[in-house]
Structure 1
Amino acid sequence: MKLYECQHCGQVLYFENRKCERCGYRLGYLPEKGLLSALEERGGAWLALGAPEQHHIFCANAEHDACNWLVGDNAGQSYCVACRHNGTIPDLTLPQNLLAWRKIEAAKHRLFYTLLKLKLPLATRSEDPEHGLVFNFLADPPDQNAPKVMTGHDNGVITIALVEADDAEREKRRSTMGEPYRTLLGHFRHEVGHHYWDLLVRDGGHLKAYRALFGDEREDYGDALKRHYNEGVPENWQNSFVSTYATTHPWEDFAETWAHYLHIVDTLEMAAAFGLQVRPQIPGGKDLSVVIDIDPYRSGDVQKLVEAWLPLTFALNSLNQAMGQSDLYPFILSPKVIEKLGFVHDLVRARS
């Protein structure tokens, strides 16, 4: 993620801003240019000051304040490149559903920012009925005895339980399941990892290399899940896995590694946008010194990402603790995990 600037007055802007707080201009995001732009209304459409060559309209979901992305006024589309992947959304006549959906859409749009920058395939279900990417955002049934909605992936269909937008409920689940980290954005990044395993690994001719590193995904998934919850994680799991859930099955290992790769590139881009440097003021702090000035979306070497990421997370974790908060990034990147991140990096770089 990066910072933006209002083309009308020069004010610093952030990705989710709808209006410039200095000059009052309305803002819209141009996904094809990766640009947040100040807008001027022109005859029922909008002129983006950052891309004045074409008029635009807002995505239809802007009506619900769930999207600020733009569509070309001659594109023949009502929904933006992110929202056209929606399958089912909750009943918006219920105020609590609308608020939850807005939170979910904010996380989903951050996901799509990254997927677009990485130039990953983004076919909709109508464009590819078999493998197209579609999101269903589902509320639990009113019957308390009925099965709850489970967040998950099935052949390009990603389901996000609406209750995950409830911060208190999500924290309760995180604590109950012994997870160090659980966010809406994390859910999106993990579940879309399963989708891209299908497209880039299984269908992309990389199964042999994947199995050598992550294991054989033909292992029965149901049995693996039962073993994980009945027996717990293997001893010394951190030597090979980025999280305890990654130990469940090779599919989950890949999805967790994929999610962490997206965590890293997006956060490093923001750190570079702020010109962050880490320079510990202690004699032995030289090894933790780094100037974060790389473009993580263009780096050809995953090691360069890791060399910037580790000092940054040491600093951020320390700052969080100074505020009485838990670590921002409570994970360890062992050499084996870095090798797995490299596999994901190479997959992605082959697309860009």
Structure 2
Amino acid sequence: MQSFTCPACNARVYFDNMFCACGEPLFYEPEARAMWNEAEPCANREAIQCNWVAVPGETLCRSCAMSDVVPALNVGDNRQLLERAERAKRWVLANLSNWNWFTDADGGMRPRFQMLSENTGGGRAVQIMMGHDNGEIVINVTEADELIRVQRQREMGEQYRSMVGHFRHELAHFLFDRLTIAPGFLDEFRALFGDETADYNAALQDHYANPKAPGEDFITAYATSHPHEDWAETVAHLLHMVDFTDSFVSAGLSMKGVPDGYQPYADENGDNLLNIAASVAIAINDINRALDNSDLYPFILTPRIREKIKFAHGWISDHAARGA
């Protein structure tokens, strides 16, 4: 994520800040990808601390307008959980806007979100399956509770689990649907990922009954379950790497192997992007280990995995030119 400054005083501010230390209000304008001091606020500014600018002529911002369903905010911790989940959604949408997804210049379909909570006020937690179907994305905001999310991460044997990660994964499914109209996409996809028309439900049942290690071909164990999940996991990891590399350079940090003025979202060379991102990850892993913290990025990019990530990068970063 890029760094931001307050227009009034030029002080460093952060993506979710509502006010600058100088006292001026802050509004994020997603089309300009910049902070403003004056703007028409999203109607959810006070309710869930949304600092985005309202869409012209509308009451909600671009991100909040995508949420068709939200939990009852007067029940339990739902207001706080939705606030955290929507913040993660705004972060991911802002990332994708660097490649012109869901901007004013993008005339394609937008995703619709059902932001659901396990706590409906009935005294008994309901089961929620996160997923994507025909443009509708279901997100379980309960996992915005860090303790719950970490517990489920351990139960499922995952190396990484976050709200930002959930949005990246589910949006990857949506991007797949958008990309299928582009000439050549499906043929290239099937050569790398396999036949996405294979029975999805049967594949998931087999995955949970007979879990497989990721091996050399898959970024995670879940990616082994079906070509659709292999794609979604691959795209999520592409977005992880581009964003942490962009955050590194935007913070003014530098190191050997990272060119001055490097812009990860503008890099058209997939190999170069992955080499630089890997260098940044290794360096920050070393820093985390000095503090006895978990690695920033505990994954190994084999040649096959790199090939898949480069394929996703080429199509997602250049979707408009490729007819998607």
Q: Point out which structure has higher relative CO (alpha carbons under 8 A, 6+ apart).
A: 2
Alignment of 1:13-24 (within 5 A): 13-21=13-21, 23-24=22-23
Q: 1:71 is matched with which residue?
A: 54
In structure 2, the CA distance between the partners of 1:316 and 1:238, relative to structure 1 (3 Å rule), is farther
**Secondary structure, in 3 states, of the residue corresponding to 1:87?**
strand
Does residue 219 of structure 2 align to residue 242 of structure 1? yes
1:112 aligns with 2:89: no
Match of 1:90, SS? coil
Residue 293 of structure 1: how far off its partner (Å): 3.6
Deviations 1:146-198 (A, max 9, x none): 75011111111111112111111110100000000000000000000000111
* One-letter identity of the residue aligned with 2:225: T
How far the C-alpha of 1:122 sits from its partner, in A, is 6.5
Structure-1 residue corresponding to 2:45: 62
Identity %: 36
Find out whether 1:321 has 2:289 as its counterpart: yes
Give the corresponding residue for 1:164: 143
- Give the whole-Å Cα distance in 2 for the aligned partners of 1:247 and 1:317: 26
Q: Secondary structure at the match of 2:215?
A: helix
1:275 Cα offset (Å): 2.7
For 1:166 and 1:120, the matched residues in 2 are separated by 28
Q: Distance in 1 between matches of 2:191 and 2:263?
A: 30
Question: 1:258 corresponds to which residue?
Answer: 235
Q: d(CA) in 2 for partners of 1:115 and 1:321?
A: 30
Q: Which residue of 1 aligns with 2:299?
A: 331
C-alpha distance in structure 1 between counterparts of 2:61 and 2:197, whole Å: 37
Aligned partners of 1:193 and 1:259 also within 8 Å: yes
- State yes or no: 1:97 paired with 2:78: yes
> 1:104 and 1:302, CA in 2 relative to 1: closer, same or farther beyond 3 A?
same
Query: Structure 1 residues 223 and 6 mapped into 2: Cα distance closer, same or farther (>3 Å)?
Result: same
Unaligned runs of 5+ in 2: none
1:149 maps to 2:117 = no
Using the TM superposition, give the Cα deviation of residue 134 of structure 1 relative to its aligned residue in structure 2, in angstroms: 0.7
Distance (Å, rounded) in 2 between the aligned partners of 1:254 and 1:333: 15
Matched, 1:271 2:248: yes
Q: Which amino acid aligns with 1:257?
A: T
Name the Cα RMSD after superposition: 2.0
Paired letter, 1:66 = Q
**Which structure 1 residue ranges, 4+ long, deviate > 6 Å from structure 2?**
none
Secondary structure, counterpart of 2:77 in structure 1? helix
Equivalent residues of 2:4, 2:35 under 8 A apart: yes
TM superposition score normalised by structure 1: 0.85
Normalised by the size of structure 2, how large is the TM-score?
A: 0.92
Matched, 1:135 2:113: yes
CA contact (8 A) 2:48 2:79 kept: no
State which structure, 1 or 2, has the greater radius of gyration over its C-alpha atoms: 1
Residues 71 and 142 (structure 1), Cα distance of their counterparts in 2 relative to 1, 3 Å cut: closer
Is residue 194 from structure 1 mapped to residue 193 from structure 2 by the alignment? Answer: no
Distance of 2:252 and 2:220 partners within structure 1? 30
Counterpart residue number, 2:25: 26
Q: What is the CA distance between 1:17 and its match in structure 2?
A: 1.1
CA contact (8 A) 2:102 2:110 kept: no
Unpaired runs of at least 5, structure 1: 40-45, 47-55, 280-288
Q: 2:273 corresponds to which residue?
A: 305
1:317: Cα distance to partner? 1.3
SS at match of 2:9: coil
Q: 1:238 to 1:342 in 2, by over 3 A?
A: same
Residue equivalent to 1:285? none
Residue from 196, 199, 212 that aligns with 1:217: 196
